[in-house]
Amino acid sequence: MKEAGEISRLVYLGSEICICLDELTSEGQTTGHADLWHEGEHRCRIALTGRAVAGRPPEFRCRMKAG
């Protein structure tokens, strides 16, 4: 099932990573998260934040939050 804001989903050897982003603000800031699932169980979420630079996609900084 596709999540709101989902831009990518990776599946590999029983693990799944879903990357979701919020809308880009007028200042070029965006936030989102990446969820890791393993064999159907949610393992962790990584918070994402980034700023777009003219002519390039947003660059992201990550902070891990185990859950």
pLDDT at residue 43 in the model: 93
Residue 19 to residue 2: CA distance in whole angstroms: 10
The predicted pLDDT at position 56 comes to 66
Kindly state the tokens that stand for 45. Answer: 């979420």
Domain boundaries of the chain, sorted by first residue: 6-66
Tell me how far apart the alpha carbons of residues 3 and 19 are, in angstroms, rounded to a whole number. Answer: 9
What is the per-residue pLDDT for 35? Answer: 92
Where is pLDDT greater, at 67 or 39? 39
- The predicted-structure confidence for 3-59, as pLDDT tens digits, reads as follows 778 888 888 888 899 989 887 777 778 888 999 999 989 999 999 888 766 666 655
Helix intervals (H) in 1-67: none
